[in-house]
Amino acid sequence: MDNARTAQVTERGLTMPQFWQGARDAGPIMVGVIPFGITCGVMGLTAGLTPLETVMMSLLVFAGAAQFIGITMIGAGITGWGIIVFTTLLVNLRHLLMGASLAPYLVRQPLSLQVLLSFLLTDESYAITVSRIYQAGYNPSYHLGVSLFMYVTWCLSTVAGVFVGSYIPDPLAWGLDFAMPATFLVLLFPRLTDRTSVAVCIIAGLIAVAGALYLPGKWYMIAACLVATIIGGLMEGDKKRAS
C-alpha cells in the first residue's frame, strides 16, 4: 500500500452505521465459516474435550486452523502444551504479515481497540477490511463490525457443534465451505488493476500451490506472502524509477 492509502484513516472514534456496515459485508463469508465452526465443536468432543472446554477454546483462541490442529494433537494423545502451542504458533505466523500491513492504521487507535482488533484478526476479516481500505480508507468501526460478527458467528457455530453436532451429518459435506474461497476471489479481482498486481497475484498463487505440495504445514502461506511482497516491491521500485 502506498503512503496515500496509509494516511487515509476516515475516523478515530467508533460509529454504529459503519460498525453495522462491516457486519453486513462479512455476512456472505459466514456461510462458509459456519460449517467449520460446527465441525470444530464436534471434533472437540471427539478428542475428549468437555463441552465447556471446546467452547472456551473458540472463545479464547479464535483461530480455526490452530484449533483444528490443537484438537487433533490432543485427540492423538499429545498432552504437552509446549509442543501444541509451538505448532499452532507456526500455523499462525501469517498473522505477523497481516498485522504489519494493518499497523499504520491501528497505531492511531486507542490501545484497548488495538488489542481487541489484534485478537480478532483472521484471514477473512483481514481480506474484507483491506478491500474496504482500498475503496474508502480505513475505518475502525467497520473493522470492528467485521471482526466481531465473525467472532460471534464462530463461537455460536462451535456451540451448535457441541450440542447438536451429533445429529448433523458432516457439515463440511454441505459444500458451503466453498463460500470462503469464492468470497476471497471476489475481493481480489477488483484489486488486479495493473501489470504489477496481476504479476504478484500469479506469482503468489504458483508459490502457494507448489508450497502446499512440497512444504510441511502452512509454510506455503508464509513463502507465498514473502516472495510476492519482495517481487511487488521490486516491480514498484522499477516503475517509480522509470517514471
Question: pLDDT per residue over 102-127, tens digit each?
Answer: 999 999 999 999 999 999 999 899 99
Domain membership flag for residue 185: no
Same domain, 220 and 145: no
98 and 43 within one domain:
yes
Q: Does 201 fall in a domain? A: yes
Q: Indicate the range of 101-115, 129-143, 165-179 predicted with least confidence.
A: 165-179
pLDDT in tens, 8-33: 665 566 789 999 999 999 998 888 88
Same domain, 60 and 124: yes
Same domain, yes or no: 153 and 226:
no
Q: Is 153 in the same domain as 209?
A: no
Average pLDDT in the chain: 84
Same domain? For 155 and 232 the reply is no
* Total domains, the chain: 2
The answer on 217 and 163 residing in a single domain is no
The predicted pLDDT at position 218 comes to 66
Please tell me which of 71-75, 136-140, 178-182, 208-212 the model is most confident about, judged by mean pLDDT.
Answer: 136-140
* Shared-domain flag, residues 150 and 210: no
Residue 50 included in any domain: yes
Contact criterion met (CB below 8 Å) for 204 and 224: yes
**CB-count burial class (<10 Å; 0-12, 13-18, 19+) for 161:** buried
Q: In the structure grid, which three cell numbers stand for residue 66, read together?
A: 490452530
Strand partners, 9: 138
- Quick one: 118 and 205 in the same domain? no
Report pTM: 0.74
Q: Within this chain, do residues 202 and 168 fall inside the same structural domain, yes or no?
A: no
Let me know whether 37 and 84 are in one domain. yes
Higher pLDDT pick, 188 / 140: 140
| Range of lowest pLDDT (133-147, 148-162, 205-219) | 205-219
Cell of 7: 494516511
| Residue appearing with cell numbers 485478537 | 119
Own/partner pairs, 99-105, CB within 8 angstroms, 24+ separation: 101/1, 101/130, 102/126, 102/129, 102/130, 104/6, 105/6, 105/9, 105/133, 105/138, 105/140
pLDDT of residue 80: 81
**Residue 181 domain flag:** no
151: containing domain = 16-173
Which of the listed residues 173, 207, 234 is the one where a domain comes to its end?
Answer: 173
| CA separation for the pair 23, 45 (Å, rounded) | 30
